[in-house]
Amino acid sequence: MAVIAEPVAAEIKRSSLWSRAFESRNFLGAMFMVPAIAILILFLAYPLLLGLWLGMTDTKIGGVGRYIGFANFVSLAKDSVFWLSVFNTIFYTVAASVVKFAIGLYLALLLNERLPFKSMIRAIVLLPFVVPTVLSAIAFWWIYDSQFSIISWVLIKAGLITRYIDFLGDPWNARWSVVVANIWRGVPFVAITLLAGLQTISPSLYEAANLDGATNLQRFRHITLPMLSPIIAVVMTFSVLMTFTDFQLIYTITRGGPINATHLMATLSFQRAITGGNLGEGAAISNAMIPFLVAAILLSFFGLQRSRWQQGGRD
Amino acid sequence: MSSVQIRDVRKSFGNFEVLHGVSIPIEDGQFVVLVGPSGCGKSTLLRMLAGLENITSGTISIGDRVVNNIQPKERDIAMVFQNYALYPHMTVGENMGFSLKLRNAGSDEINKRVKRAAEILALTPLLERYPRQLSGGQRQRVAMGRAIVRDPQVFLFDEPLSNLDAKLRVAMRTEIKELHQRLKTTTVYVTHDQIEAMTMADKIVVMHDGIVEQMGTPLELYDKPENQFVAGFIGSPAMNFLKGHVRVNGVATFEGPNGVKLPLKNAPANSDGKPVVYGVRPEHFTIADDGADAEIVVVEPTGSETQVFAKVGGEQVVAVFRERHTFKPGDKVKLKPDPSLVHLFDEATGKRM
């Protein structure tokens, strides 16, 4: 044995530092993590930090900015347009999310029943999600057009109204119009995800509840809702985050108008930074979204914490 | 408690009929086991009794009431599911009290009845736990507790022990039987395991391909199976079958494959030369000098008994001996069935002769 072992040991001694490194678990582990870390730093950490930094400078397009501390935020605090955009964003998010949840849950429950042409209906429900956002936004733009709106045309032909509706010219009309467009686009995501959640609920639970004497409504309240609540938390977190940071729909349909009535924080940030050239101010507006997003994430973090009944193990 | 009458019940899924006219009378307080291989329709029948499947034709009555068009919750039955179907988001106590809560029973009443059921099933220390925190056997007991709390007319069990390990299954078998002796509630129990059926039932209903093959007490089915299917289904290891003919010249004998001669107590009338199937249970073989020649193939000792696989006339048979033999594969022995315990079946119809 010793005769065989000796040359092997000698060979290990002779092997280079490089090849020995590749034998090490720690080194290899670090090597495998490099691509992931590089991607995270390049596309996530760097832009985020750059954004935070820009928010504290007076950088303009084409110029090098100076550090000005919180001056951008101080001026934003006195800026009524900024506060209007905060209000718009919250209104847009809350109104759209609530309706998306209600319609999405309704559709999911409907699609979970035995329906004729079920798979076809499911495919149709997904359609708004598949169309590129900008294209559907352009379609809504036409639907809301002050002269060519199909809604106004139909209502006039039906004799319900006498004048074309000014969808995008009136502040509240415009707000509700973009909310409706967002709902149309966001419902499929909510519906299909909740449907997936519904399908994980064992049918025997409903049978057991049926034998226990539950009515349809009681089955929904005591079985479906509690069993679906973890999925609801995930879906609604995503839905809220996506709605809060929405840009494409607004920018395509209203560009923030009329008189900033539909400006969201994201569109205002873009307008000030890119169109207006004040990169620093735009970044500050973007940064102002962070507390809201963190709050939403924290809310879902605590909401998502697995309820006691989901935890396994024994005590 | 109630009697249950199943009369000429049929069930079709589309054009495919799975139950072809099943009639089963169940007396008040009886423990009836529906047993049969997968796909025989036993679970479907149970679900029809529960109201979870429609009845295509025929009637099912619980007590004096035909329940064909009565909603499950109005039937006053409780069911234990194969996967238990416990509500995962409710504690053991909430699971058991759920049906009472839906009936708007007062919380005192619910607590009292849940507590009583928990005591019967030794679940009291677990009432605050969630189903996930329980072992398989405990979940099984909670499922039964949920049924007991209801105090229903009929208990339905749908293969309740098939998710448990072998040892626990035996223990739960006894527990369910004991529970039935205590509560005396009419019970319909579905299983594919003939041992469960034999050990628990007052009455066994053997089903196969959507019909009832035979109904009777466990020992009736064991001693006098009406056909070859029941004979092969009841008993473990299963009955040996050999094909051959009856020969009556002075003494009735059975002539099996390759001229093997096996004894008959007496030949049925007009059976000389008739093709028959000769059935003998493994435990009814003895080693005797006037037995048939057999060559040992495999020996499986289990401690209490020894299973011996042997070739008789080229056919493999299994014999079980309580006494200890030191057989080795390849040994030649003489196996003799007890003629008074032999079964003869018509080869064409499979019916008992």
Segments making up each domain of chain B, as ranges: 4-227, 240-346
Least confident of B98-107, B184-193, B264-273, B326-335: B264-273
Q: Do A212 and B73 touch (CB under 8 A)?
A: yes
Q: Do A211 and B89 touch (CB under 8 A)?
A: no
Can you give the pLDDT at residue B272?
Answer: 81
Shortest Cα–Cα distance, B176 to chain A (Å): 20
Asked whether B263 and B336 are in contact (CB, 8 A), the reply is yes
Stretch B325-352: mean pLDDT, rounded? Answer: 90
Can you give the pLDDT at residue A315?
Answer: 36
With H, G, I as helix, E, B as strand and everything else as coil, classify residue B79: strand
Nearest to A309 among B102, B132, B150 (CB): B132
Q: Do B85 and A207 touch (CB under 8 A)?
A: yes
Shortest Cα–Cα distance, B80 to chain A (Å): 8
Nearest to B85 among A202, A214, A227 (CB): A202
Can you give the pLDDT at residue A168?
Answer: 82
Chain A environment of B79 (Cβ under 8 Å):
207-208, 211
Most confident of A218-232, A265-279, B204-218: B204-218
Per-residue confidence band for A313, with pLDDT thresholds at 50, 70 and 90: very low
Q: Do B73 and A313 touch (CB under 8 A)?
A: no
B54 in A contact zone (CB under 8 Å): no
B13 in A contact zone (CB under 8 Å): no
B122 in A contact zone (CB under 8 Å): no
Shortest Cα–Cα distance, B96 to chain A (Å): 10
Per-residue confidence band for A1, with pLDDT thresholds at 50, 70 and 90: very low
Host H or E run for residue A134: helix A133-143
Per-residue confidence band for B217, with pLDDT thresholds at 50, 70 and 90: very high
Stretch A229-243: mean pLDDT, rounded? Answer: 87
Q: Do B85 and A212 touch (CB under 8 A)?
A: no
Mutation test of the interface with chain B: which of A206, A207, A211, choosing the one with the most B Cβ atoms within 10 A?
Answer: A211
Stretch B176-204: mean pLDDT, rounded? Answer: 92
Residue B125 has pLDDT above 50, yes or no: yes
Chain A environment of B52 (Cβ under 8 Å):
207, 210-211
Chain B environment of A314 (Cβ under 8 Å):
133
Sequence-distant (6+) residues with CB within 8 A of A285 are: A76, A82, A85, A265, A268, A269, A272, A273
Chain B environment of A209 (Cβ under 8 Å):
87, 98
Distance between the two ends of chain A, CA-based, in angstroms? 52
Chain B environment of A204 (Cβ under 8 Å):
81, 83, 85
Per-residue confidence band for B249, with pLDDT thresholds at 50, 70 and 90: confident
Out of 2.40.50.140, 3.40.50.2300, 1.10.10.10, 3.20.20.10, select the CATH number for domain B240-346: 2.40.50.140
How far is Cα A18 from Cα A14, in angstroms, rounded to an integer?
A: 11
Over residues B63-76, the pLDDT tens digits come to 889 999 998 888 88
Can you give the pLDDT at residue A133?
Answer: 86
Shortest Cα–Cα distance, B35 to chain A (Å): 21
Q: Mean pLDDT across chain B, nearest whole number? A: 90
Shortest Cα–Cα distance, A300 to chain B (Å): 20
Per-residue confidence band for B297, with pLDDT thresholds at 50, 70 and 90: very high
How far is Cα B168 from Cα B170, in angstroms, rounded to an integer?
A: 5
B146 in A contact zone (CB under 8 Å): yes
Identify the residue whose tokens are 């005192």.
B108
Residues of A with CB under 8 A from a CB of B: 202, 204-205, 207-214, 218, 222-223, 226-227, 307-315
Asked whether B42 and B190 are in contact (CB, 8 A), the reply is yes
Nearest residue to B148 (alpha-carbon basis) of B170, B119, B168? B119
Q: Do A211 and B146 touch (CB under 8 A)?
A: no
Can you give the pLDDT at residue B204?
Answer: 95
Chain A environment of B131 (Cβ under 8 Å):
309
Asked whether A81 and A263 are in contact (CB, 8 A), the reply is yes
How many A-B residue pairs are in contact by the CB < 8 A criterion?
A: 71
Over residues B100-122, the pLDDT tens digits come to 998 888 889 899 999 988 988 88
Per-residue confidence band for A42, with pLDDT thresholds at 50, 70 and 90: very high
Per-residue confidence band for A308, with pLDDT thresholds at 50, 70 and 90: low
Least confident of A116-125, A263-272, B93-102, B316-325: A116-125
Q: Do A208 and B73 touch (CB under 8 A)?
A: no
B98 in A contact zone (CB under 8 Å): yes
Q: Could you tell me which CATH number the domain at B4-227 has?
A: 3.40.50.300
Stretch B33-42: mean pLDDT, rounded? Answer: 91
Nearest to B132 among A214, A222, A312 (CB): A312
Q: E strands, chain B, where?
A: 4-13, 16-26, 31-35, 57-62, 65-66, 77-80, 154-158, 186-191, 203-208, 211-216, 240-249, 251-255, 261-263, 275-280, 285-301, 306-312, 315-321, 332-337, 343-346
Asked whether B91 and B134 are in contact (CB, 8 A), the reply is no
Angle formed at CA A308 by CA A302 and CA A311, multiple of 5 degrees: 100
Between strands B315-321 and B275-280, the pairing is unpaired
Mutation test of the interface with chain A: which of B44, B48, B52, choosing the one with the most A Cβ atoms within 10 A?
Answer: B52
Residue A12 has pLDDT above 80, yes or no: no
How far is Cα B77 from Cα B345, in angstroms, rounded to an integer?
A: 40
What pTM did the predictor assign?
A: 0.78
Can you give the pLDDT at residue A6?
Answer: 53
Q: Mean pLDDT across chain A, nearest whole number? A: 85
Per-residue confidence band for B191, with pLDDT thresholds at 50, 70 and 90: very high
Asked whether B240 and B70 are in contact (CB, 8 A), the reply is no
Can you give the pLDDT at residue B1?
Answer: 67
How far is Cα A136 from Cα A147, in angstroms, rounded to an integer?
A: 19
Q: Do B98 and A222 touch (CB under 8 A)?
A: yes
How far is Cα A132 from Cα A11, in angstroms, rounded to an integer?
A: 61
Can you give the pLDDT at residue A150?
Answer: 87
How far from the centroid of its chain's Cα atoms is residue B115's Cα?
A: 32
Residue A248 has pLDDT above 70, yes or no: yes
**Domains located in chain A, CATH noted:** 80-132+169-305 (1.10.3720.10)
Asked whether B336 and B287 are in contact (CB, 8 A), the reply is yes
Per-residue confidence band for A15, with pLDDT thresholds at 50, 70 and 90: low
Chain B environment of A306 (Cβ under 8 Å):
none
Share of chain B above pLDDT 90, in %: 54
Stretch A292-300: mean pLDDT, rounded? Answer: 85
Residue A14 has pLDDT above 60, yes or no: no
